[in-house]
Amino acid sequence: MRIPAPVSFFLGVILLWPQASQGQTFDPSMPVAREFVPFVLRPQDPSDVAFVPDWVPRDAAIDPESASVEIPVPALSTQPSVSRFALSVVFEDNGDGGPSVEWRRADGSIVTISEGLGEALDDRVLGLNANTLLLPQELTRNGGSVIVTYFGRFPALTGVTLRPARESLVALIGARTDPALVDESLRVMLADEVDGRRSPPLTGDVRNGGVVEAELAAAIEEIPGELEFVVPVEGKILGVMLRMELLGLDLEGTVEVTLNEARIGSLNMASFALDDPAVTEDESGRLVVAGWRTGTLFLPAKYWQNGENRLVLRVIRTADDPGKPVYLRNSGLHLRFGPPAQASVYPDEDPALPASGELLPAPEDELVMPREEKEKGELEIDFLEPQVLIEPPSEPSLPVVITTRP
């Protein structure tokens, strides 16, 4: 039975009123779903564990002297609903490569999964970073333990989280992406982001039909308050999408974008779940998100001009911002061009031909059916063999977009 709109609205108010009247408080006694509950461990405060999930066979081992954390992982054969395990590590990235990850088999042998989860930038301090990797099934099939080690920087290891995952068949459009992990907030992580190796920077320009993916800065760059790019463009632009990854941006801070001295807006940062392993607290107790976050912004065509365009990024901080450096990487533009002007199909050197836009009568000897054949109705036309009278113009190449650093 269909309820009229006014009645359905009234019922909604009645049903929601008791919920709205109740105060929202944190209740530790509330039931917790345990089937896929993660195991969260803070090496600097190992007692800060709400409970140990049922799938963890024994207590984790924290050894500051060896600068390592070892977490036992049950065999997949004993977990019918679990297909993979994902390990997330939060740490202060000092540019030395970050913590390593190893696997200890049941026989005691060690296998290296990742030589370093951080950046290697000659000891340049980046700040709070986070990385997630999928533990290989060939290792977890028979059980063992995962070891996270940060030699010489163990105090910088702030969080280790092990999460069970299930596999699901997903259809993909296109052949350029290879997603491997989707978290609770529907954030998609690609295969080369969760294999424990450092992803290569997205360098170079790529054309896909009428869209050009152009590089601004693939390598890690600091935004020292303001950063400018010079973008030479030729052609008719329909729209541009700015995309980059940021690290160190405060949750209340923004990155303002200006194009040719016109303020476009602020980067739209990717959403996140509050129980994500990368969401933690800083020294003052404020929430921060560790690791790289994606930011995007649409740049309308009306702000672009042929020739050089000046794109400026400016970090806007709040009064409570601790002032930590903000870095970007894999910054680039997705530019969509309109169709290029069609070249005339008629040679300019032949004045006998009509101007472009006028109709050109077809020669009678090739397209017009002779009168006697019309009367007989016996003319046979082979539609599989095209009869080209005028050479079609070759499609003009898309203007090349060249991006340079200022």
Q: What is the mean pLDDT of residues 204-230?
A: 88
**Tell me, what's the pLDDT at 330?**
93
Residue 224 buriedness (CB in 10 A; 0-12 / 13-18 / 19+): exposed
Tokens of 27: 């209740």
Mean pLDDT (the chain, rounded) = 78
The residue whose two tokens read 């009306």 is 302
In the chain, the percentage of residues whose pLDDT exceeds 70 is: 73
Centroid of chain to Cα 84:
22
Sequence-ordered list of residues with C-beta below 8 angstroms from that of 85, at least 6 positions apart, any chain: 73, 134, 135, 140, 146, 162, 163, 164, 165
User: What's the rounded Cα separation, in Å, for the pair 352 and 31?
Assistant: 87
Which pair of structure tokens corresponds to residue 342?
A: 């069609």
- What pLDDT, on the 0 to 100 scale, is given for residue 27? 58
Contacts of residue 88, Cβ cutoff 8 Å, sequence gap at least 6: 130, 131, 132, 159, 160, 161, 162, 163, 277, 278
According to the model, what pLDDT value does residue 342 have? 45
Higher pLDDT, 216 or 123: 216
**pLDDT tens, position by position, 228-285:** 999 999 889 999 999 999 999 999 999 999 999 999 999 999 999 998 999 998 888 8
Summarised one tens digit per residue, pLDDT across range 349-375 is 444 444 444 444 444 444 444 444 444
Q: Is 375 helix (H, G, I), strand (E, B) or coil?
A: helix
pLDDT reported for residue 56: 75
pLDDT classification of 34: cutoffs 50, 70, 90: low
Q: Number of C-alpha atoms within 13 angstroms, CB side, residue 63?
A: 10
The pTM assigned to this predicted structure is 0.73
